[in-house]
Amino acid sequence: MRMVDLITKKQAGNALIEQEIYFIINGFTDGSIPDYQMSAFAMAVYFVGMTEEEAGFLTMAMAESGDQIDLSAIDGIKVDKHSTGGVGDTTTLVLAPLVASCDVPVAKMSGRGLGHTGGTVDKFEAIKGFQYELSTEDFIDTVNKHKVAVVGQSGNLTPADKKLYALRDVTGTVQSIPLIASSIMSKKIAAGADAIVLDVKVGDGAFMKTVEEAEQLARTMVRIGNHVNRKTLAVISNMNQPLGWAVGNALEVQEAVETLRGQGPDDLTELCYELGARMLVAAEKVATVEEGKALLADKIASGAALEKFREFIESQGGDASFVDDTSLLPQAAYQIPVPATADGVISDWVANEVGEAAMWLGAGRATKEDEIDPAVGLMLHAKVGDAVNKGDNIVTIYSNREDVDDVIAKIQAAVTISDSAQAQPLIYETIDQA
């Protein structure tokens, strides 16, 4: 088998068989297939696409290219939730303990943030003492004992995907639906999930800018999941404005506590109920989404969800005293208001600009080497549809530098104040059968 023959076969629009795809991925991982040939193959896929079967083979080949986590020692159906990334996306902080409080195991591997999107591991690092590096044995033991654990991704999980992503990044082949879908799904499968609930974000703060693109990606991932015998469904949710009020690591931990108390932002709470209920259905804990939402609401109302959050933080070495007093979380030196520049109604919040403003403060990374400041970020006080007067405080900047004129200007440029605003749905659709 020669790589050049497989490149030309794909260029011609023909489907590759399982052995051919494994030959490509194994060869690229071990270095016997050079970057320039893999670049040509990625470009061929970019232009001619892949069949559902090919994307399934590619997913499994990448999932099997490194370590695979065996979660069979954990009782019950293990359901993983994955978000395609957004701004102020605090869902994992809420969902992990909330779903676990319903006696469903949540064994989650999470990554760091880059650019305007926040990473779950960075948010947990705002909690004093929290250990996200656990051995596989400790990870499994913790989930069996407490029903929940969140850890950072293993260094040798899907090495083929890491190599291929780095190559796609510099060869103009990132925006390929089969390559994006197989990248995401390979990581979820290698991490041991039995069932996968996908939160596919759409809008200017997301990877997918249109509902049509998001729907295509969601359907492809659901097809791949079902093809490789993992129950998979996708929720397409709005990321045209930040989710919730908080953007920044300690601020989002605080918002998670408020949400688990039943006092969180409406949009974050609604999305957590939607995703959480579908996780409960996938785990066969409840029969319907409505039943799932009712159970989640009961766990919040009774205080069981917040208690599970406290137990979860302590089980991974964290100091959970902030659950009762959020002022114990890292605090920024300065709180600076951002005034509205006109009277009217907020009609647009450019989410990725808000995310970049938080990154400039130190809440995110421009490069992988950047250090995160857990205390800094933004707290929004008005969202799309809210009426404001000129001079009203629409955002509070939490900063450890006094001069934030650049951030104020960026935030004011990111918000549009008009005579009226068009209502936008939080959830566009759910795809469980592709």
The catalytic residue positions are 82, 161, 168, 183, 187
Report the distance separating Cα 388 and Cα 325, nearest Å: 31
Q: Which of 207, 313, 314 is nearest to 256 (CA)?
A: 313
Provide the 10 A C-beta neighbour count for residue 307. 15
Bridge partners (DSSP) listed for residue 399: 334
Contact 342, 415 (CB under 8 A): no
Report the distance separating Cα 180 and Cα 135, nearest Å: 28
Burial of 402: CB neighbours in 10 Å, binned 0-12, 13-18, 19+: exposed
Tokens of 338: 């951002």
Report the distance separating Cα 269 and Cα 254, nearest Å: 14
